[in-house]
Structures are given as C-alpha cells and as structure tokens.
Chain A
Amino acid sequence: MKSIKRGERLTKFLIAVFLIGMCILVFKVVSEASFYMEHSGNVSLGCVYDRDGNVLYDPNATAETYGADYFVDVGNLIGDESGMMDNTLVSENMNLLENYDPIFGVMENGKSAVYTTLDHDANRTVYNAFGSYDGTAIAYNYETGEILVCVSKPNINILNYGDVESLPSGSMICKAFNPVTPGSTQKVSTLAAAIEQMGFDAVAEKRYSCAGVYYNNYGNQIDCHNLYGHGTQDIFTAFQNSCNPYFAQLVQEMKLDDLIETYKDMGYSVNGSKAPNLEVDDIKVFRGSAELEDVNEFDTQWGCMGQSRTEVSPCQLMMWQSAIANRSNSVTKPYLISYTHNMFGDERNHARTKYESAGFSADTAAYIREVMLANGKNRYNGVIGYPVGVKSGTAQVENGASEDSLLVGFVDDTAFPIAFCVVIEDNAAGAMSADSIVAIMLRAIQQ
C-alpha cells in the first residue's frame, strides 16, 4: 500500500508541475499579450493627440486629410507604426494605441488614443523659428513635468519618408533625448559640484583672475573667449562671462573624488561607469557622460566646461533646471503622455508628477538659482521678455570645425513655471540666437 501511495505521489508531483507551468503560461500571456499584438498586423491603432485635441499621429493619415507638412515638427518625436524609427512615442507605446483588450480581443473600430502634453501649435512655431538651422528645443513645466514643446531639426515627414538613405543626418532621432556637447552650459553642473564640495560661501569668496589665457598646473593652455581677459572675478561675474580660466582654476581646487561623486549623483556616467536609466514614457533618454581623471589636467578641466568628451542630453540639462528653479534637491521628471483612452473610450493611465534626486542639495540649488537669475537679469530678461535664470553655452563640435549654441534656463514665475533647453547647430557665425528661439517658444507656450 505504501508503494502504491509512492506512485500516486509521483503522479501528483507531475500534475502539480504541469499545473504550475500552466499558471506561469497564463501569467505570461496576460502580461505580454499587448507585446504580441505589436507584432501582429491584425490590430488597428488609435490616434495621438496634443493637449488641445489636435492630432499628432493618425495611422490613416494622408497628405490630403492633414496637409503635406502637418506632422513634420513632431515626426521624429511621435513617430509611427512603420518600424522605420524606434525610440519614438508611438513605437514605444504601441500597446496603448492598440484597439485591443486581453479579454475581448481586437476591436475593429476601437477608441484607443493617447493624449499628450504637447502643444502642437507652439511646437510648430518653434520648429519654424529655427528657419534653415538645425538643432533642438525642449521645454516643460518644471512643477508638473508636462513637456510642452519638443522640436528636433532636421525632422522627418512621416507621410512621405522619401529616400531614407538620402535623408540628412539626425532626421530620424529626437535630438532632445540624445547626447550633445553641452559647452558652457556644463558650468552649471560644475558649479553644483563645487558648491556641494566647498559650500556656497567658500565658492562666493573665490576670486580668480583671467588674462584671456590661463596655464594650468600641468602647463596646459586654457583659452578664454575674451582674448583680453576678464580680470579678477567672483562666481557671479565669471558665470555671466562664462569665463573658462575661472572655472579651470575652480576645478583645480576641487577634490577629484568629490567631483566624480557629485557628477555621478547627478546622473552622469563618469569614466565609463553606468548611468541610471532615464526614460520619458518609455522613450530612452541619454543622461550624461564625462571623463574626469585629474583635476589638474587639461581634459578634465575642459570636460567640466562642457568640451572634451563630455556629453549631455538637452532633456537632462532641462531637468536639472527644474531642481534649480524649485530650489529643491529633486528634479521633476518630464512626461509626454497625459492620459490614454482604452478601446472602449475609458480614460486610463493619468500621468502623475514624479521626482528623482537631483544629485545636489536644495541649498545648492538655491545658490545656483541666484547665480543664474543674476545672469538672466543682466543679460537676457530684456531679450527674452520673461524673468529668467539662464546659462548659455558654445560647444565646439566636429573637432572645432563647427560650433553649436546652447541656452538652458527657467522662467522665474510661479504662474508660468517653464524650464527649457535650446540647441542651435552649426551657429559659429551667431546669425541665429538661442535666446530669440527661447523668446518665441515661451510666447508660443503662453498663448
């Protein structure tokens, strides 16, 4: 009898293993059904709308129904279902657009839709403002995290890709989420690291002189954009002058380990370390990377001024502005999807404001805010037309053959809490100014 029971127990064990496997299968199917449907050609997709209900993506769109260039300002951000581009809102959120439900299956005329935070009119205005220049502009509400404008030029017309091979470089990626050389906008991060390490009072007391050229401890030459020099400056004037020799000397006085630690806390990949992931509604966003090996050495100093091998994404530059503007130790995480409709038309997935560590303290943020506001007040408020805290930058790219203009900052107005970052590519002549783009962008958002 005992032996019979042993056989029975073995049978029970086999059945139990099988049933556990079936449970895993059920879980797998339920959790991955939307993913399977992404590969299926038998499901219709819904539309993507902006904050005012304007269409940003329609799977049935034609040039006749919308106009030939209707989607051109959001092509590489919103994308489409064709698979030509990845890391776009549509490609990364197909499950939200599918007229599909794991219980009821496919619905031919479903009401699935994604409602974004974007302002299409403002977006198109900013896109047009770039004129013949390429670059990117991104702006968001630094209190809620809603992305209002996100433009990247050159862009793609999803209604007519044309010959993909002959498209200009960068057409199929949204540059706001990809690495750029930050130029002097990097001095915001370096200042944050200096204040974290030395304290604001100590930094405020620092006085360094600039003669146009500075030779560091190893004898390397650091050039200032002002060949005649800025003379002796404190942090406020050096920040406004974007003085390279000042910041080279500041970096030289910092401890390498502390510098690295602050950079890492801010999200940088330092010397090849892994940076924490950053995603905006499943769109992957590059954070930042830098090579910091010796505070006395040229490349490290130059890297702390946004050159050498330092790279940051405009989105990340904008995010730090939220912490500074809010005088907080946390940044407001940006998002594009405000809410969605399922295939029955029910509202789902309402966005919530989320935060993450800024990598520096609230006091540091408050100090930087003062420095940036002073810069804005003295140089930019008049041009931009809003009370802003800003930092400009000029990034030498392609081994110095080309220069990009950058401007990052925030509006100091609780009724209009906007943080932004603008990059204009190949703007060595300065014919197009980043502050004018910012002015147009802010006005367009406010309308």
Chain B
Amino acid sequence: MFHNKLRYGNISILVLLTHLVMLAAVLFRGNYEDIRDIVPLTIAVFSLDIVYMIVIRFFYKQMTYTTDYLLLLILNCSVIFQSCFGGIGFASKHYITCVAALVCCQIMFLLTRNHLRVLAMKQYLYLVLGALILAILFLTGSRSMWINIGPISIQPSEFMKPVFVLLCATSIMEQHPKKKVLMFHVSREMIALTIAFFVIFVLQWWCRDLGSLPTFAAAYGCAILCRICYPKAKFSKGTLLFLCALGVCAVAMLAAAAPGYVQARLSVDIWEDTYGDGWQQCQALMAIAEGALFGKGPGYGKLIQVPAADTDIVFSTICEEWGFFVALLIIFFVVSLLILPMINKPRSYFHATMVMGVAAVFIVQMGLNIFGSCNLIPFTGVTIPFISQGGSSMVVCGMLTGMLKAGQSPVFRRPDVQRQLNAQRRKEGAA
C-alpha cells in the first residue's frame, strides 16, 4: 500500500470481493444438501478477513502491506478449496493451520526485519538446526520425519527450511576472511553452511524424504552462487562450468543410487502402469481434463478418493472442482507473493539473499508438486505452499512469508540502540 499506491480500503474490498465471488460459486455451483452447510465456511472466511485486516492496520506499521493482503487472499481461498473437496463442509483443521500461518508470518517478520539482530543470533540458528535434527533422530519413529503428539503430527524437517534460509542469508551477507581449501578460497561461514546442508542431506536421505531435498538444494545452490559471485565473480567461467557439471554428475549418481521406489518413479510410464506407480498421476491428469476450464463445481470432484488428493496432487483436485483457470489463478497469486519483493525492493544484501532463498524454496516446492503430479517431472510428495493441507507445512510457509515481508519492510537500527530506544520509551511512558 505504501509503495504500491494501493489504498487500505481498496485492497480490503478486493480481498473481500474475491472471497465473496468464491463463496457465491460454492452457493450456486456447489455440491451441498442444505444451504446451512455453507454457513460455517462463510462466517469463518469473512471473520478471518475482517479480523486480520483490522489487526494489521492498527497493530504495527510496515512500509508495505501488500504481502499481508495477498497472503490473506490466498489462505482463505485455500480454506474454501479444502472445505469443498468431495462435498461442501468446513475444513476446520486447515482453517486453524491457516490462522497459525498468519500468526507465524507476523512473528517471523518481527524477528527477521532487522538483519543485525539476525546476525547477532547466528550461532543460535545453528543450535536450532541442531535441535531439529536431534528431534528427527530421537523423537520421530524409525526412519520417519513425523513426531506424533496425540492427534497432532509435526514434521520437524519442515521447520529446518526457514532456519536454513536464514543460515544461507547470514553466511553470505558480508565479506568474510577466506582460507584456501583445495582449489577454492572459502570462508568459515561457507564451510559451516556446507556442512549443515550435507547433514540435512544425509538425514533426509536416511529418512527417505527425498522430495524435500531439492528444496534445500535450491536454497543452498542459490546461496553458493551468490557467495562465489560476491562482491564480484572470482571464478573463471571454466570453473563455474566445472562446478555445474559436477552438480549434474552428482544428481545422476544420486538418481542411480536412489531407493527402488524412487527409481520406479523416475522411469515409470504412467499410462502403461495406470494401476501401479502411475495411479496418482493418471488420476490427477484425468481430473484436470474432466474439470476443463471451469471445473465440475465445488464438491463434485472424485479425485478426493485418491490418496494425497488434498496435499501432493491438490492442484489437480482444484482443477477438477474449480477448473483449470481458477487453479492457474491461485498459483499466480502465490507467485505474486514472490514478485512483490521486486517491486518493494530489499535494501540490504541479507534481505535480498533471504528473499531469494524463500523464493527458491517456494518455487521448487510448487514446481515439484504441480509438474510432478502432471507427469512433467518425476512425482514427489511435497506440498504447494498455502494450498496443500498440512500443519507443519502451512506454519513454515507462514514463517517464510514473514521473511518475505521483512525483506520489504526492513529495520536498520543496531540491536543495542534499539534496546536503548525501547528502554527510553518505557521510561517516558512510566513517567
């Protein structure tokens, strides 16, 4: 709003109108028996819209609020989608995770908007990462990524993503003294980051959660690329090409060494194995075709009967019920979240790198999910940010969006100065 010349009233109406249109679509095209089935969903969506709009207007000041509104728009769209899969209802669990995502977004924004404070907490980031790794090793089941506490399941590996992105950003935000290791001049920070990535890699491999590996690899790859080119490219083009070739070889070797089920997914011809390894993708593609441009109508989808219809192949489920056009539109909204920092540009190298890391994570996750479920690339079990169901994933996406916000509304005061300023304000207040 600040930079984008979007007024509070206008953008609020835009968000409300979008949700109104979607709920009207549910009313007129939806699969429900009684009109009262729609009421809880309607109340929940508009309540969240109005409460959040009031909160962000008066809670604290930012340089731009566009990301908040876009996030609100996407999250409530997601609530409407998830509430309609297979029949109109209210996805209360998904709604709660969306609220949690909004809260986490604000918390992460406050934590990361001052890059000097993040830098001061750098060693704690490694500690948090270590704690998450230990949690995966000792609190999850055998070679699993999940911690089950009663009815709640938490995936600690998801929480490694914002931590790792922050580590990437803090590791390359400034010039560090370098040592020569083999043919490379590297800083201690980069060695630490590389070790952290390697540990995450081994852990993910061991837990057979290979779907998340590209996400971390993308964040790490972007960081490395920025590091070696900071402040200007120190390597010759030949060395860079050599490194790229090395990366390609590593991917090929990993593909060859991957577990059987992964290899089957890499090589499966889905239409030759429609009831085996190609089951989900075939069903997903058929659902997209059946939905056509305008969909069968909310609640009329059949894909929900296929496993992971609301997570790994959620794009197709939306296509089936709401149509290809709406599915593309919602993806465009998510991509817009990543485009916003190019309009409200980050003002520090830390924030620029952090935004880049978040973009890498979001883009890779969306790509793996959408292109995988549509058989353009091998199928992996990752979620679409904000759209797929999943508590840990949703909360982490909220945190990452908070980091995007921080990149657009940064604070540049040193932490000690900020503390003094706060103390002074408290004294004045007391007086």
Contacts and interface: CB of A to CB of B under 8 A. Distances in A.
Contacts, number: 126
Nearest to A30: B324
Nearest to A18: B363
Given A8-B352, A29-B288, A19 B335 contact: yes
A168 to B, nearest CB: 30
B342 A26 contact: no
Interface in B310-345: 324, 328, 331, 335, 338-339, 341-342, 345
Interface string B51-62: 000000000000
Contacts of A103: 292-294
Nearest to A16: B363
Contacts of A12: 342
Interface centre among A2, A3, A32, A104 (most CB of B within 10 A): A3
A8 B274 contact: no
Interface residues of B, number: 49
A24 B293 contact: no
A33 B316 CA distance: 13
Nearest to A5: B352
Interface string B258-297: 0000000000000100100000001001101111111110
Interface residues of A, number: 37
B32 to A, nearest CB: 20
Contact of A15 (B274, B335, B348): B335
Contacts of B339: 15
Interface in A1-44: 2-4, 6-8, 10-12, 14-15, 17-19, 21-22, 24-26, 28-29, 32-34, 36-37, 39-40, 42-43
Interface in B208-237: 218, 222, 225-226, 229-232
Interface string B342-360: 1001111100110110011
Contact of B346 (A4, A34, A37, A105): A4
B370 interface: yes
A11 B274 contact: no
Contacts of B347: 4
B302 A42 contact: yes
A104 B374 contact: no
A402 B150 CA distance: 78
Contacts of A33: 288-289, 292
A101 B232 CA distance: 54
A106 interface: yes
Given A15-B339, A18-B335, A22-B328, A7 B376 contact: no
Interface string B23-61: 000000000000000000000000000000000000000
B356 A104 contact: no
B84 to A, nearest CB: 17
Contacts of A100: 289, 292
Contacts of B328: 22, 26
Contacts of A11: 338, 341-342, 355-356, 359-360
Nearest to A105: B292
A293 to B, nearest CB: 38
A32 B288 CA distance: 11
B292 A104 contact: yes
Contacts of B348: 4
A59 interface: no
A197 to B, nearest CB: 46
Contacts of A345: none
A33 B370 CA distance: 16
Interface string B371-384: 10010100000000
Contact of B289 (A2, A7, A40): A40
B335 A37 contact: no
Contacts of B230: 3, 6
A102 interface: yes
A22 B327 CA distance: 11
A37 B286 contact: yes
A18 B336 CA distance: 12
B352 A105 contact: no
Contacts of B302: 42
A20 B248 CA distance: 21
B294 A105 contact: yes
A21 B376 CA distance: 9
A18 B366 contact: yes
A101 B274 CA distance: 23
A7 B352 contact: yes
B394 to A, nearest CB: 21
Interface in A59-101: 100-101
B86 interface: no
Contact of B225 (A10, A15, A32, A43): A10
Given A29-B324, A29-B374, A18 B286 contact: no
A2 B349 CA distance: 9
A33 B324 CA distance: 12
A194 B324 CA distance: 60
A330 to B, nearest CB: 37
A106 to B, nearest CB: 6
A6 B226 contact: yes
B289 A37 contact: yes
A250 B239 CA distance: 70
A25 B374 CA distance: 8
B130 interface: no
Contact of A10 (B286, B293, B356): B356
A390 to B, nearest CB: 45
Contacts of B294: 103-105
A39 B226 contact: no
A25 B376 contact: yes
Contact of A7 (B324, B331, B353, B370): B353
Contacts of B291: 105
Nearest to A24: B376
Contacts of A102: 289, 292-293
A24 B376 CA distance: 9
A260 B136 CA distance: 71
Contacts of B345: 4, 8
Contacts of A29: 285, 288-289, 324, 374
Interface of B: 218, 222, 225-226, 229-232, 271, 274, 282, 285-286, 288-296, 302, 324, 328, 331, 335, 338-339, 341-342, 345-349, 352-353, 355-356, 359-360, 363, 366-367, 370-371, 374, 376
Given A6-B229, A15-B363, 10 more contacts: A3-B231, A4-B348, A7-B352, A10-B222, A14-B360, A28-B376, A29-B285, A37-B290, A39-B274, A39-B286
27 contacts: A3-B349, A4-B345, A4-B347, A4-B349, A6-B230, A7-B349, A8-B341, A10-B222, A10-B356, A11-B341, A11-B342, A11-B356, A15-B359, A19-B335, A21-B370, A21-B376, A22-B331, A25-B370, A25-B374, A29-B324, A37-B290, A39-B274, A105-B291, A105-B294, A105-B296, A106-B292, A106-B296
State the 10 A-B residue pairs at the shortest beta-carbon distance, nearest first. Answer: A105-B292, A36-B289, A7-B352, A4-B352, A33-B289, A40-B286, A7-B356, A11-B359, A103-B293, A14-B363
